[in-house]
Amino acid sequence: MMIYLDNSASTIPEEEVLRTFAQANRTYYANPASLHQAGNKAEQLLESARKQIATLLGDSESTVIFTSGGTEANNLAIIGYAKSLKHRGNHIITTVIEHDSIRNACLHLKTEGFEIDFLSVNEAGEVSPEELKEKIRKDTILVSIMHVNNEIGTIQPIEACSKVIREHSRALFHSDCVQSLGKLELPYPEWVDAVTLSAHKIHGLKGTGCLLTKKFNEPEAISFGGGQERGIRSGTANAPGSAAFAKAIRLIIERKNISAYRRWNTRLRKAVEDENLVRICSPIEGAPHIFAVAFKGITGEVAVNYFQEQGIMVSTSSACSSKTNKVSPVIQAIRVPDDYRRGVIRISFGNMNTDQEIDTITRVIKEFIEIIKKGMKQHDME
């Protein structure tokens, strides 16, 4: 029986979400842009999902722009807002530990003449509002700071950063909230102007996400076609997928398992905190569903393979880039020592995990540490 503990990469879809998607595909199969009755019904489903998501997340007047997932929504936020706000300036601020869909979008804008400043982080992965205050300018048009880091679970001081932004600029504040939806209270709409969300991180379906923005704060389009989604995101709208996304959000709000995540996180932390061969990468005050550790003198791939042999699925620090065999910018930024930084794994919980599964991985981690110790002793003897 497989134990799946890679929920920050993707989650197992809820049965209710799958049923919603299947039923909607059978009933609302038409193109929502079509003028006939079947098209009108599909459009009604799409707009109902849009309204549900906005209401569930705190502002029924928000604009919900449906996308294919978090990456597209982040690209739309960074490039789309840069285009729509360029009359105010060309300065953008983000952080050194953002997801690649933010980082690479910013680097793309740099080639088009925009100025990009990257905020550093401390060893817990936190940005400094003071550094933000130093770097923000009158011509800063956009600040993007993720709410929860996807690799180590750091929760950023969004409220403090928001106060700096509002006091010193007219910049729009965007936050990648892919990892915080369903685990923490979102900083939207009180502290940020727009957030990125993704369905498959909350037991929904891959291929659905959205950019949630305050009314009248919409970005410019970065792709072109038939003018769907208010002309911001062209392409035939995925009404069944959007309905399933709304269902996933409702379920994650109703069923969130935060107390269990905290208990499991604490248990794993206590199991390894006194081991010299292990360095805990996740801050103690981080998001409860993510626990990242580094093993001394080995690679993360070795650890992942060992756990897999025991029927446990975990990932190296970021599943999005784990096959590149490179040290991630996040692990570099938090200054993990050289002899640990290639041995990082991430354990991440979801609503379908159990106490018994955490019992198993706790035991397996301890066994793995003993194997590393024996290997080092044998190496020393040789």
Query: Is 320 part of the annotated catalytic residue set?
Result: yes
Distance (Å, rounded) from C-alpha 135 to C-alpha 157? 16
Q: Which residue among 106, 210, 281, 320 is the active-site one?
A: 320
Write phi, then psi, for 6 (nearest 5 degrees): -125, 45
Write phi, then psi, for 144 (nearest 5 degrees): -130, 115
Closest CA to 117 of 100, 148, 85, 140: 140
Alpha-carbon torsion, ordered 175, 180, 184, 189, to 10 deg: 30
Maximum distance among all alpha carbons in the chain? 79
- 102-121 CB burial, b ≥16 within 10 A, e <16: bbebbeebeeeebebbbbeb
Distance (Å, rounded) from C-alpha 299 to C-alpha 255? 36
Distance (Å, rounded) from C-alpha 285 to C-alpha 287? 7
Distance (Å, rounded) from C-alpha 291 to C-alpha 288? 8
Q: Which two tokens stand for residue 132?
A: 């933000």
Which residues, in sequence order, are CB contacts of 183 under 8 Å at separation 6+? 148, 256, 258, 261, 287, 288, 289
DSSP code string of 339-351: TTTTSEEEEE--T
Distances (CA, A) of 111 to 108, 174, 222: 5, 21, 16
Residues with a known catalytic role = 320
